Amino acid sequence: DSGVTQTPKHLITATGQRVTLRCSPRSGDLSVYWYQQSLDQGLQFLIQYYNGEERAKGNILERFSAQQFPDLHSELNLSSLELGDSALYFCASSVRPSGRDEQFFGPGTRLTVL
């Protein structure tokens, strides 16, 4: 158990819908990362937050947004869902946004868009 929690574990929805994925980092970790794992794209970095502020953006679609709240939990919002958004979404946390700190991953949320 990494100490990072993600809810829900599974999500099945229809095209055009909007969903929210939730992540609670390990106790004491200030940095949160979101990654998407799909069969065709592999593991891709989406976005990073540090202590409530957005710090870096990767291959995140405009239909997707995220935020980190004062209690440090983070939410990833996916809207106008398409079939291609079906993937495993991981949240990871680290103490700082530093390579010296390993990122610990949550169990992931498997999103299926029908």
Partner 1 sequence: AQKVTQAQTEISVVEKEDVTLDCVYETRDTTYYLFWYKQPPSGELVFLIRRNSFDEQNEISGRYSWNFQKSTSSFNFTITASQVVDSAVYFCALSEYPDYKLSFGAGTTVTVRA
**Closest-CA residue to 24 (of 78, 77, 81, 68):** 68
What's the min distance (Å) between Cβ of 16 and partner 1? 27
Comparing CA positions, the residue from 10, 19, 23 lying closest to residue 79 is 19
| Binding positions for partner 1, 83-112, rule CB under 8 A | 88, 90, 92, 97-100, 102-108, 110
Task: Provide, rounded to whole angstroms, the least separation between the CB of residue 10 and partner 1.
Answer: 11
> Closer CB to partner 1, residue 16 or residue 93?
93
How far is Cα 33 from Cα 47, in angstroms, rounded to an integer? 6
Eight-state DSSP code of residue 84: G
| Pairing between β-strand 10-13 and β-strand 109-113 as defined by DSSP bridges | parallel
Of 19-27, 54-62, 69-77, 79-87, the segment contacting partner 1 by CB under 8 A is 54-62
Q: Which is nearer to partner 1, 17 or 51 (CB)?
A: 51
In angstroms, rounded to a whole number, what is the distance separating the alpha carbons of residues 83 and 114?
6
**Which parts of this chain interact with partner 1 (CB under 8 A)?**
2, 33, 35, 42-45, 48, 55-56, 58, 88, 90, 92, 97-100, 102-108, 110
